[in-house]
Structure 1
Amino acid sequence: MLFSLARLRAVVLSFLLFTSFAFSKEQSLFTSSVTYCEPPETLLIQQFDIAYFAKNQSISFNVSAASVQANVNVTANLLLNVYGIHAVNITLDLCNILGGALCPLPMYNFTGSDSISLPESLGIQDKIPDIAFNIPDLEGVAQLVLTEVGTGNVKACVQATLSNGWSTHQTSVEWITGGIALATLLVSMWQSLSAEAILPFRLIDLLFLYQTIASTSFLSLNYPSTYRAFTLNFAWAMALFSTSPSSSLQPSIDRMRHLTGGNLANATSSSAVSLVNRKLSPYNFLATNTEVSLPFSPRAADTLDFTVLTRLAFTNNTTLRSGLALHSATQGGAVQTVTASSSNVLQAGIPIYVNSLHIATANAFMTVFLCSLILIACVLGVFLFGLALVFILGVFRRQEEDRKARLKSAYLSFIRAWGIRLALSLVLPITIFSFYQWTLEDSWLSVLLSVISLLILLIAVLYPTFLVLRNARRDGIEALYDNAQHLASNGPLYGQYRTPRFYFFLPLLVSSFLKAVFIAFVKGNGEAQVILMVILEGFTVISYLVLRPCQTRGGDIFSTFLAIIRLVCSGLLIAFVERLNVAPIPRVVIGLVLLVIFSVAVLITYINLVINSGIGGLWKCGRSGASELSGSSNVSMLEKGGRILPSDSNSSELMGRPNNPTPDGSDYLDPPFLHPFPVSPTETELNSVYTSNRTSTTMTVGSLLPRRWSFSPLNSPTGSSQVHEPTSSYNSNSNQGLSRASDAPPSLPHGKTRTVT
């Protein structure tokens, strides 16, 4: 019996030869998951770990299996599938090897862990290319099929996915991207005290880019493993956080679902790869599992020297590599059976994505809901702390009542603005997973919470949208930018756009809503999803090119660049449509191209964040201070081409905003918005900024016009074509601030200006 056990161990080792578990910095291959590809009848597996180390051509294994059926004569088919290529396909008649010791298959329990150095005569190193040890997210599968002689019935079928320890999904990347977003948030909150700050808008662009990368893996497509792993780095932006096996979050959601009518599969702590549909990566099986076996080939059987493996099994049964960390491939439960008709098969799209984070498909919405709830609670806590601080400062500093009221009003506007930004950042995750929860028909409580959360989100976004559109229709578009309180509260929607394009936020909101509809309700048809996404992103790019909505040319270029990136990447996703049957290697190459494109887009966005963070403004501010020390006047005015250009030191007061609302230099980020943010408490709207006197030929200037306006001197009342060029002077005895001398006042668009005292 001991002799038969050793020989059968040799057969098992020959199957496990191409699988391993090892450290990622060594050239090694290891088993990352194990499943039955047919219901087990003869061979039962409890643990299945094996490692191959290229450096010293050794294997380390930890296997626990049992043969439970007597008088069974079988043939063994060993298959190694790497990127859809059958690198090894060997069929052995066990009755013709080892003197028939394995015919019939002996009944035994096999449990062992060992380390064995393989002889060079096996030539294993020559059969495994070096790239297999270095390419991230290797797509390789080893399969062993035991078929009964005479009947052809499958007695056992086991599949093990392979890995080399390298992956594009790295925890460090998650922390870096999240840390940069958090740092941008803190600086943006400080800079948002000024209506001209660009960084708060760039923060939303950054989060939307993260969400776009993650959502590209939500479609029903056959993604290469390396690209799917890359998009997992940005799952946190969709409020999807991977949980540890010891966490109680997912088990709690499982219990809640089952108590409220849910019957779908629970979360698992084991690898989701083992449950992936066998037609998808990393399996890439286009036929059924048993159809890949080839007829018995004597030449193929001769390539393995089983006598050597048997001798090694006896002589090394006590040699165990010290310090080797072997983890069971069946952690979290017994080895599962996955066939084409199994109910536990993970289909492409959201199921594979969320289960890769150890989140069950039916738990996806509840995970997003709870994480969003925690985020909202943290934000409310910060806002309440700030409100209490404002109240305390007002009490102890004994400020005047009107000043207290202004401070409180400004802070409430600040809260409303950041509430809108928070809602905008949650639009895509909440809508996608709410709609997707409706398609599952699982737990009535989950569906109810998804409806409530979606309604609250719509109110948080649509109500300020209604206010913007109503004010634009009632008071005119200019009023949106002239009304300081309205701009401070609802500016996150339209503040970065030019006056004629204030409505441009509407197409972007509609685009996010349609993306959620395409992902959730068109699931199962990846081809239709990709086509709809390409059309949607194409319209977005055209709208940016035609309308050019941003205040500055740089803003238009940056926004158009991100839109083009989304369009190009959506087009490349066509290669992952299952019906096209693109070969695995070209798909991997296209996945790497997508990875590079999105990575470059993220880096360029980071550069844009740095530029708009105020670092450049500090340099300009220093140069401005040096020029003041050289003797420049604080009240000098330069007239050029009919346009008044104030000096740096006095411009902010004339424009009706604080001198330095952002100490980090946000006033110098980009060219200022065309509509300044008025905050002066003595600001009034007049029918005309100029009060002319024909006898004195003097007029008083209220506040400066935006830079795109120019003065057009009128003809004199006597009909003379002579135009008197105005000159500027400073009257120290007048409380009107500045005075100008001219024969006739220039025309003023809209008939409205401000007077600042």
Structure 2
Amino acid sequence: MRRSLASSPIPWLLALLSLFPFATLAERLIQSSSLNLCQENSQFSATLFNVAFTPDNKTVTVDIEGVSSISGNVTLKLDLIVYGYNALQETIDPCTDADGQLMGLCPMNTGTPNFPFNLPLSDDVISKIPGIAFTIPDLDAVARVLILSKNTGEQLACVEAPLSNGQSVYQKAVGWVTAVIAGLGLLASAITNGLGHSNTAAHVAANAMSLFGYFQAQALIGMTAVTLPPIVQSWTQNFQWSMGIIRIGFLQNMATWYQRATGGTPSTILSNLANASVQIQKRSLDVVSGLLTKRGVFPRTNAGATNAQTTTNVIVYGIKRVGFRSKIEPTNIFLTGYAFFVIFVLLVIACVVAFKYITEALVKAGKMKSDKFQEFRNGWLTVLKGIMFRIILIGFPQMVVLCFWELTVRDSAAEVVLAIFTIVTMIAILGWAAFKVIRIAQRSIQMHKNPAYILYSDPVSLNKWGFLYVQFKATAYYFIVPVLGYLLVKGMFVALGQGSGAVQAVAFILIEAILLVGVCILRPYMDKKTNSFNIAIAAIQFLSSVFLLIFSDVFNQPGIVTGVVGVIFFVVNVIFAFVLLIMVLVSSCYALFSKNPDTRYQPMRDDRGSFIKSQTQLNTELDALGATARGEGKGAYGKPRAGIDDDDDSYSSSSAGMRQKEANSDVYSAPVQQSDSYYQTTHTNTSSPAPYHNAPYGQNRTGSIRSEQSRGPTASPWQRGAGYDH
């Protein structure tokens, strides 16, 4: 029975895609260069297949070379399936072909048939194909041919050709734009922080990190073993750069050499397409289980194959699918991602060191004011440590997936050892950093009834460990622990669950639901806008996991539902990604080019700004006198700070020592009291935001602590602010 696609709701949904600028002015064309098996024990397979339909000349051009074990008269049944909808059904008898184009199949003979032909189509058939099918990206359509015995009606073979119109949402420009904007956000936060605008830096960094996390979440969906519609595969492929899946020719050669040198056997799928029919998974693994090879299963692309007897069917899915689409051998995927992570770390170190010496040279040459980036220049090693920790956090999802996956594929013994060492080290580093943050915050609560006091008053701790807590409000310092657990568990399901897409889909929906509920209830981020930003991301990720569950076919829904949901997935995420990119781009540009970007953001309710010391704020003689009275040097990091990584790594933890010092230094008591009086007056002025303390980084707040102790713990001004009523 013939059914018209025009009468279905699909064209109206697909019409929305025409609003996106993917279509070109090229000739209208539908083509395929892949002929895949859709039946076990099929008696016909193709080694070369090319089909092209051009509606302008109303002709289908076909070129087939294959292997046939069929003998006798046959009937061909053609189905055109578009987005799961059976748009066209035709039954063809080669023996009654009026144009004689298929007479070579009457009867069909065993051997290696080779029959190119042109098949004219009538206007009636062409009218059933909607015009939008020639312009929408990643057309989800397949032409399926069943070969039936004319005498018995037995199905002898089933082959299908995925169709393409040459348009795709997978564009290198998309990857470059998203990477540049995310990188610009991190760069802008670093520069503004160096200029003393810590509030702006914290907001821009938090949004840039959340944006990068969203990109990685999209990439992880593409890495699952779930059968994804073509448009979803292509969309998620745009973000595989965030997981280090980037092809560079010489890097692939190095990875292959390293694997051979360490006892591994590199795969040769990409270099042996002449003898391998590679198919990107479009059906459940159960259907194609008879076609799976040891390394998995990769769409056949034509490379002049002529020897049909040596052709191997390979199907790729999950991590191997994104590697194949990036033209990376399966055995090189781990080393490719690992190498890019190492390159990124080295590049950042080089940039920080270069920036340090460039700024020093500019100051000495009189080209830049001496107070510019002074805090960075005095304590650049500590800043560099904090940057390295942040990079480890950024690369954590990537390395969790690649390292655990390497343990399942075992490309070589050396790579397995490298994966184990890397993931254990990263988990240990981030775990230790989270433990340090919690211990510092708990000590601050114990001594000052406020976690923000030590977390933000100690510049060394702030620069070294702040990457874990500055994006959260002070009372939610602990939230980095569930975030790290979320990334670890999600990455492990992607890496270790490659054999079951349904398990991955169910795990994703549970993990994303827990995260969404957590951020909605706790609202752990620094302010209302940042909470809204991250809640929106969590909501979209949960919605995407629901779509992923539908793609896994656990509901056994009709194919048309899967096709429609795939289109909706793309539309929702492309709009959301565009909004996020614009927001981060605007905030980054404002931070870089505004004279006072802090005016765009309200002071934090946890009073962190009152605790952050900035050398650039040292602008009163009274503060300078107080610093001199306390015996503090010029440099923020000028004197060694013993125990910064031990239990006494906060200034307030040495309060007893400072009290003893004050008792032995009566000569300085008067200036210190003046400084205390000045600070108390300015801090208790509720008509304006609390000012930054004007002592340089790395200097003790003796006066403030002593006056606080004189008032007693219940009268401490640091207990004010949201969430500090203990």
Provide the TM-score with structure 1 as the length reference.
Answer: 0.67
5+ residue gaps, structure 2: 1-22, 292-299, 446-450, 619-623, 631-651, 653-657, 663-667, 689-709, 719-726
Q: Does the 8 Å contact 1:75/1:93 carry over to 2?
A: yes
CA distances 1:292-340 after superposition (whole Å, capped 9, x unpaired): xxxxxxxxxxxxxxxxxxxxxxxxxxxxxxxxxxxx940386688999x
Higher mean alpha-carbon deviation, 122-131 vs 587-596, is at 122-131
State the match for 1:529 in structure 2: 504
State the match for 2:283 in structure 1: 279
- 1:559-638 matched pairs, under 5 angstroms: 559-613=534-588, 615=590
Alpha-carbon shift at residue 280 of structure 1 (Å): 4.7
Flag the structure with larger Rg. Answer: 1
3-state SS of paired residue (2:57):
coil
State the match for 2:646 in structure 1: none
Query: Structure 1 counterpart of 2:613, which letter?
Result: P
Alpha-carbon shift at residue 239 of structure 1 (Å): 1.2
CA distances 1:152-194 after superposition (whole Å, capped 9, x unpaired): 9998765432111222222232222223223323322212323
Within the candidate set 353, 368, 391, 1:384 is matched to 353
- 1:91-490 matched pairs, under 5 angstroms: 92=93, 94=95, 103=106, 105=108, 118=120, 120=122, 123-144=124-145, 158-193=159-194, 194=196, 195-196=198-199, 197=201, 198-242=203-247, 247-250=249-252, 252-258=254-260, 260-262=262-264, 265-268=267-270, 274-277=278-281, 279-280=283-284, 329-331=301-303, 344-347=314-317, 349-389=318-358, 392=361, 408-476=377-445, 477=451, 478-490=453-465
Query: Structure 1 counterpart of 2:336, which letter?
Result: T
Alpha-carbon shift at residue 254 of structure 1 (Å): 4.1
In 2, the alpha carbon distance for the partners of 1:486 and 1:331 equals 58
In 2, the alpha carbon distance for the partners of 1:215 and 1:706 equals 47
In 2, the alpha carbon distance for the partners of 1:384 and 1:56 equals 63
Query: Structure 2 counterpart of 1:236, which letter?
Result: W
From the two aligned structures, give the one with the greater helix fraction: 2
State the match for 1:715 in structure 2: none
State the match for 2:636 in structure 1: none
Q: Does the 8 Å contact 1:33/1:329 carry over to 2?
A: yes
Q: Does the 8 Å contact 1:527/1:574 carry over to 2?
A: yes
Q: Please tell me whether residue 73 in structure 1 is matched to residue 72 in structure 2.
A: yes
* Overall identity of the aligned pairs, in %: 21
Aligned-residue Cα RMSD (Å) equals 4.8
State the match for 1:720 in structure 2: none
CA distances 1:552-607 after superposition (whole Å, capped 9, x unpaired): 22222222222222222222322112332222221122122222222233233234
Q: Does the 8 Å contact 1:435/1:517 carry over to 2?
A: yes
Within the candidate set 668, 675, 690, 2:608 is matched to 675
Q: 1:434 to 1:404 in 2, by over 3 A?
A: closer
Q: Does the 8 Å contact 1:143/1:159 carry over to 2?
A: yes
Q: Does the 8 Å contact 1:36/1:335 carry over to 2?
A: no
Query: Structure 2 counterpart of 1:191, which letter?
Result: T
State the match for 2:699 in structure 1: none
Tell me the number of residue pairs that the alignment of Structure 1 and Structure 2 aligns.
601
Query: Structure 2 counterpart of 1:374, which letter?
Result: I
In 2, the alpha carbon distance for the partners of 1:124 and 1:112 equals 23
Query: Structure 1 counterpart of 2:551, which letter?
Result: F
Q: Does the 8 Å contact 2:192/2:591 carry over to 1?
A: no
3-state SS of paired residue (2:35):
strand
In 2, the alpha carbon distance for the partners of 1:190 and 1:125 equals 59
- 1:515-526 matched pairs, under 5 angstroms: 515-526=490-501
Query: Structure 2 counterpart of 1:700, which letter?
Result: S
CA distances 1:499-555 after superposition (whole Å, capped 9, x unpaired): 221222221111101101222223333333233322222222232233222232222
Q: Please tell me whether residue 500 in structure 1 is matched to residue 475 in structure 2.
A: yes
In 2, the alpha carbon distance for the partners of 1:707 and 1:522 equals 56
Q: 1:166 to 1:549 in 2, by over 3 A?
A: same
CA distances 1:270-309 after superposition (whole Å, capped 9, x unpaired): 699951346259xx989999xxxxxxxxxxxxxxxxxxxx
3-state SS of paired residue (1:88):
strand
Q: Please tell me whether residue 702 in structure 1 is matched to residue 679 in structure 2.
A: yes
In 2, the alpha carbon distance for the partners of 1:710 and 1:666 equals 20
State the match for 1:635 in structure 2: none
State the match for 1:651 in structure 2: none
Higher mean alpha-carbon deviation, 574-583 vs 138-147, is at 138-147
Q: Does the 8 Å contact 2:457/2:613 carry over to 1?
A: yes
In 2, the alpha carbon distance for the partners of 1:747 and 1:471 equals 21
Query: Structure 1 counterpart of 2:76, which letter?
Result: N
Q: 1:251 to 1:112 in 2, by over 3 A?
A: farther
In 2, the alpha carbon distance for the partners of 1:139 and 1:699 equals 71
Q: Does the 8 Å contact 1:253/1:363 carry over to 2?
A: yes
Alpha-carbon shift at residue 419 of structure 1 (Å): 1.6
Query: Structure 2 counterpart of 1:275, which letter?
Result: Q
Query: Structure 1 counterpart of 2:454, which letter?
Result: A
Within the candidate set 530, 535, 538, 2:513 is matched to 538
In 1, the alpha carbon distance for the partners of 2:577 and 2:171 equals 16
Higher mean alpha-carbon deviation, 418-427 vs 95-104, is at 95-104
In 2, the alpha carbon distance for the partners of 1:186 and 1:358 equals 31
In 1, the alpha carbon distance for the partners of 2:359 and 2:675 equals 45
Query: Structure 1 counterpart of 2:358, which letter?
Result: L
Q: Does the 8 Å contact 1:76/1:144 carry over to 2?
A: no
State the match for 1:14 in structure 2: none
In 2, the alpha carbon distance for the partners of 1:259 and 1:152 equals 55
In 2, the alpha carbon distance for the partners of 1:750 and 1:452 equals 50
Alpha-carbon shift at residue 225 of structure 1 (Å): 1.4
Q: Does the 8 Å contact 2:259/2:412 carry over to 1?
A: yes
Q: Does the 8 Å contact 2:406/2:416 carry over to 1?
A: yes
Provide the TM-score with structure 2 as the length reference.
Answer: 0.70
Q: 1:266 to 1:449 in 2, by over 3 A?
A: farther
Q: 1:119 to 1:584 in 2, by over 3 A?
A: closer
5+ residue gaps, structure 1: 1-21, 290-327, 619-662, 712-744
CA distances 1:106-164 after superposition (whole Å, capped 9, x unpaired): 799988989x79475x6441343334323332233334566778899998765432111
